[in-house]
Structures are given as structure tokens and as C-alpha cells.
């Protein structure tokens, strides 16, 4: 039997986000929380990628990547309301030039968890103006960079953001309110639709062939805590709907109506040209009753579940089979799928090699089955600032020494490079 080969046109690369790698993003809401001492680590200079992006892209090229996903920091582009900093715009223009000169296709994310302080002070995504303000920021970015960029990710993990920032209260602005979470969910949907139109309108002039717009949706594979419990299965169904599918469905259909839970109507439907998926783990769900919030269930700690064999350094279960199932599941929308993130934090690099091969094997199986997957981005190119978990988790293909900013290519990066080059997985590792 011949070995599976990924398509020749496949996008191979790694992903980063501005606040996690650039350093000194001093004008956003996350930095403010860092200043207030809400997290044990502060991002500080992070990986100093703001100054070292050329060197980092050369490394990515040497690792045979042909694409790179990164985010543009809104608070740098628009440090004060309505003022667009020409130097920051020029910086990102240079970033894209550098990517292109290294043969890396840019995939640009416009919102990756951080907001300019001026907007955060106005209520952030709770503000009724936020979707229009996001559209204006997007239009500006596209006016300057649009001719060179074919792949746009408007929002990174909108549902994770709503959960962490407006339900769990762990991230700025630290809210814990169902009403606010719902409002932000709706504003993010509206923001995407407006940004989609802004991108398409500008690019119709600049580069008509080429504007593909999507979101990066975090997906988790949900399993019942107790397989014989119908209540746990009900909560799994609900979590899968709300956490994995609802945002995507709303954008495709332009409306969502679930009695008593969601009633959403958008300006229009079909505003996704591709679906970005970020996959890391499986979660076990345990039902806590038939009303809200118990019906959503609790996440049982993986350590207590007998099925869990492998975990990353943040104790998330490593479950490649869930990747296969979710990619197949999302094929139902009949849109191209881009794996916008998939990765492991570990200090044992051999675990990273195993993780990559195991997940790509499952992805290959999904493609053979018929899933329309167009690319894969490992998270992350570099070790970086892992939000509330600080610098301890090591996700990078490239190790970063935060004292000297020295970069060291890990063996797993070389293994991945060989896959990027050949499109074929090693028989054994
Ligand atoms: O580091 C994050 C990233 O910002 C969003 N997706 C998940 C990654 C790992 O937690």
C-alpha cells in the first residue's frame, strides 16, 4: 500500500500572535493587567519578535515552512481612537515583505485576544460601537497590506475569549456574567461580518482574486465523564454545539435561533471562505442538572479519568483521535479547513515529535476520508508568553532563551521540516 502524501499545494507553517511574541505591547488591556500584577509573569520583551522577525522568518524558511500565521496588534496600529500610526503600519508592511522574500505565505489574524486600552476603557467588546471600530481598524490594515495578503483570520478563538474574559473572569476585563458574555458573543459575530465586507470591498480593488476570510475556531473533543450517563451525553452535545459549532454556524447561516438560549440575526450569511480550526485536547464533561448552568456540565479533571494516557505540561490530554473526528465533523460545512493551530507544550522535545506525527497522521486520515483541508500551522514557531500561564509552557519548534533571546532549533522542528518538504510522514520515529 502506498504511503499517504499531503497535497502539493498544502500550506505548511507555524503560528504566533503579537502579544505573545513581539514584546512591549504597552497600550493594550492585557499589558494593563500585567502592570496591575494580576499574572505571575509579565510579557515584557517576550521574544523581542518586533525587532527580530527577519531572523525568525529566516529560521522558518530553513525549516521548510511555506506559510506563516501571525497577528497584527490593534493597539499598535491605532494607539488612540481614530489615529493610525504610520510607523506601525509600515512595520507590518515590512513583516509581510520579509515573509514573502522568505517564500512564506502570510496568514494575518486581526484580533488575537488583546484590545487597545482606549477601547477597553470604553467597555471593549461590550460597547455597541466595537463592531464598527473593528471594521474601521480592519479597513485601514487592508488598505495598507491588502495587496499582499490572501488569507485573513478576523478573530482568533472568539468563544474561548468570551468564556475566559466574560464568564470565567480569568482574562481582561474579568467579567463573570451570562448577559455580558452573550452580548460580546453577538458583537464579535457582527464585527466579523463587518470586517468580512471591509476586506472584500478593499481587495476587490487591490487584489480581486485573493481575499479569503475566516476565523480561527478553538475546538475541543468532548466526551462524557461517565459513558453510561445520558445526562453527561446531553451536556457533551450542548458543549459541542455551543463551544465548537455555534459561532461558525451563525456566520454561515446568518442567523441562529435556539429557544431560551440564542436568538441572533446577522446582516448577512455566508461570511466564511474557510474555517480555521485550533485543536489541542479532549475534555470530559459531567452534567450538573437540567437547567442553565448545570446543563452545560463541568469539565472533569483529566487526571481523574482512567482513559487519559498522555498529557502536556499544562495537564491537557493529548488525544490525536479527537483531531480526526473534529476535522471530519467540520467537513459538514463544505468549506476549506485550515488547521490554524495545533501544538504541545513540553520540556521533552521527543514528545513534541510524537505529537506532530500522531496528529498529522490523523489529519492525513481525515483528508483521505474527504476532508477539504488546505494547510496546517503548528503552534508555535517560538516558545512564547502563554497568557496567564506565563513563560513556563514551552510550545515552540524553536527554543527561546528569554535572557539572551538566543534561538535554538529543536529536533522536533527538523522532523516537521522533513514533513513540510516531502508531504509524507516518517514510517516510525
Ligand atoms: O497560546 C494560545 C494561543 O494564543 C491561542 N490558542 C491556544 C494557544 C495555546 O494555549
Q: Does 136 reside within a domain?
A: yes
The span from the CA of 149 to the CA of 107, in Å, is: 7
Q: Does 2 reside within a domain?
A: no
- Full-model pTM: 0.97
Sort 207 into a burial class: Cβ within 10 Å, 0-12 / 13-18 / 19+: middle
Q: Does 4 reside within a domain?
A: no
Domain that holds residue 275: 11-422
For a pocket test of ligand 1, which of 315, 387, 394 has the largest count of ligand atoms closer than 8 A to its C-beta? 387
Q: Does 296 reside within a domain?
A: yes
Q: Does 282 reside within a domain?
A: yes
Q: Does ligand 1 have an atom closer than 6 angstroms to the CB of 358?
A: no
User: 171 C-alpha vs ligand 1 centroid, how far in Å?
Assistant: 13
User: 386 C-alpha vs ligand 1 centroid, how far in Å?
Assistant: 7
Q: What is the 3-state secondary structure (H, E, C) of the chain?
A: CCCCECCCCCEEEEECCHHHHCCCCCCEHHHHHHHCCCCCCCCCCCCCHHHHHHHHHHHHHHCCCCEEEEECCHHHHCCECCECCHHHHHHHHHHHHHHHHCCCEEEEEEECCCCEHHHHHCCHHHCCCHHHHHHHHHHHHHHHHHHHCCEEEEEECHHHHHHHHHHCCCCCCCCCCHHHHHHHHHHHHHHHHHHHHHHHHHHHHHCHHHCEEEEEEEEEEEEECCCCCHHHHHHHHHHHHHHHHHHHHHHHHCEEEECCCEEEECCCCCCCCEEEEEEEEEEEEECCCCCCCHHHCEEECHHHCCCCCCECCCCCECCHHHHHHHHHHHHHHCCCEEEEEECCCCCCHHHHHHHHHHHHHHHHHHHHHCCCEEEEEEECCECCCCHHHCCCCCCCCEEEECCCCEEEECHHHHHHHHHHHHCECCCCC
Q: Does 427 reside within a domain?
A: no
pLDDT tens per residue across all 429 residues of the chain: 578 999 999 999 999 999 999 999 999 999 999 999 999 999 999 999 999 999 999 999 999 999 999 999 999 999 999 999 999 999 999 999 999 999 999 999 999 999 999 999 999 999 999 999 999 999 999 999 988 999 999 999 999 999 999 999 999 999 999 999 999 999 999 999 999 999 999 876 666 568 999 999 999 999 999 999 999 999 999 999 999 999 999 999 999 988 777 889 999 999 999 999 999 999 999 999 998 889 999 998 776 788 899 999 999 999 999 999 999 999 999 999 999 999 999 999 999 999 999 999 999 999 999 999 999 999 999 999 999 999 999 999 999 999 999 999 999 999 999 999 999 999 877
For a pocket test of ligand 1, which of 379, 381, 400 has the largest count of ligand atoms closer than 8 A to its C-beta? 379
The span from the CA of 211 to the CA of 153, in Å, is: 11
CB atoms within 10 A of CB 386: 18
User: 218 C-alpha vs ligand 1 centroid, how far in Å?
Assistant: 9
Q: Does 415 reside within a domain?
A: yes
Which numbered atom of ligand 1 lies nearest the CA of 395?
Answer: 9
Domain count, the chain: 1
Record the cell numbers describing residue 185, joined without a space. 458573543
Q: Does 428 reside within a domain?
A: no
Which residue's C-alpha cell is 498522555?
310
Q: Does ligand 1 have an atom closer than 6 angstroms to the CB of 379?
A: yes
Q: Does ligand 1 have an atom closer than 6 angstroms to the CB of 278?
A: yes
The enclosing domain of 148 has a CATH number of 3.20.20.80
Residue from 425, 427, 336, 422 nearest 8 by CA: 422
Amino acid at each position: 500500500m502506498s504511503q499517504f502524501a499531503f497535497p502539493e499545494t498544502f500550506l505548511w507553517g507555524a503560528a504566533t500572535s503579537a502579544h505573545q511574541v513581539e514584546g512591549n505591547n504597552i497600550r493594550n488591556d492585557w499589558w494593563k493587567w500585567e502592570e496591575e500584577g494580576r499574572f505571575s509573569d509579565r510579557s515584557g520583551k517576550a521574544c523581542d519578535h518586533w525587532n527580530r522577525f527577519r531572523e525568525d522568518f529566516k529560521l522558518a524558511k530553513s525549516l521548510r515552512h511555506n506559510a506563516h500565521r501571525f497577528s497584527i496588534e490593534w493597539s499598535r496600529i491605532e494607539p488612540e481612537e481614530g489615529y493610525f500610526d504610520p510607523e506601525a503600519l509600515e512595520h507590518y508592511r515590512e513583516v509581510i515583505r520579509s515573509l514573502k522574500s522568505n517564500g512564506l505565505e502570510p496568514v494575518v489574524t486581526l484580533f488575537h485576544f488583546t484590545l487597545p486600552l482606549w477601547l477597553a476603557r470604553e467597555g471593549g467588546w461590550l460597547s455597541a460601537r466595537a463592531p464598527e471600530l473593528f471594521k474601521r481598524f480592519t479597513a485601514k490594515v487592508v488598505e495598507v497590506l491588502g495587496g499582499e495578503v490572501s488569507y485573513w483570520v478576523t478573530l482568533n478563538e472568539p468563544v474561548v475569549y468570551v468564556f475566559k474574559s466574560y464568564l470565567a473572569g480569568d482574562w481582561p476585563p474579568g467579567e463573570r456574567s451570562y448577559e455580558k458574555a452573550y452580548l460580546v458573543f453577538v458583537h464579535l459575530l457582527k464585527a466579523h461580518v463587518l470586517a468580512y465586507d471591509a476586506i472584500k470591498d478593499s481587495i476587490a480593488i487591490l487584489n480581486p482574486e485573493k481575499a479569503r476570510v475566516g476565523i480561527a475556531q478553538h475546538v475541543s473533543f468532548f466526551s462524557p465523564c461517565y459513558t453510561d450517563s445520558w445526562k453527561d451525553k446531553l451536556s457533551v452535545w450542548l458543549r459541542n454545539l455551543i463551544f465548537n459549532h455555534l459561532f461558525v454556524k451563525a456566520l454561515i447561516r446568518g442567523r441562529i435561533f435556539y429557544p431560551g438560549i440564542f436568538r441572533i440575526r446577522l446582516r448577512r450569511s455566508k461570511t466564511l471562505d474557510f474555517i480555521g480550526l485550533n485543536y489541542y485536547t479532549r475534555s470530559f464533561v459531567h452534567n450538573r442538572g437540567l437547567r442553565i448552568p448545570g446543563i452545560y456540565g463541568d469539565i472533569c479533571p483529566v487526571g481523574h479519568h482512567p482513559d487519559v494516557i498522555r498529557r502536556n505540561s499544562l495537564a491537557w490530554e493529548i488525544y490525536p483521535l479527537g483531531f480526526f473526528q473534529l476535522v471530519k465533523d467540520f467537513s459538514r460545512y463544505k468549506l476549506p479547513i485550515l488547521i490554524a493551530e495545533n501544538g504541545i507544550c513540553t520540556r521533552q522535545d521527543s514528545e513534541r515529535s510524537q505529537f506532530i506525527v500522531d496528529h498529522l497522521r490523523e489529519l492525513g486520515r481525515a483528508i483521505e476520508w474527504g476532508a477539504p483541508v488546505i494547510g496546517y500551522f503548528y503552534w508555535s514557531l517560538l516558545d512564547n508568553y502563554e497568557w496567564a500561564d506565563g513563560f513556563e509552557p514551552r510550545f515552540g519548534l524553536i527554543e527561546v532563551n528569554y535572557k539572551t533571546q538566543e534561538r535554538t532549533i529543536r529536533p522536533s522542528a527538523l522532523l516537521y521540516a522533513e514533513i513540510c518538504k516531502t508531504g509524507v510522514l516518517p514510517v516510525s520515529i
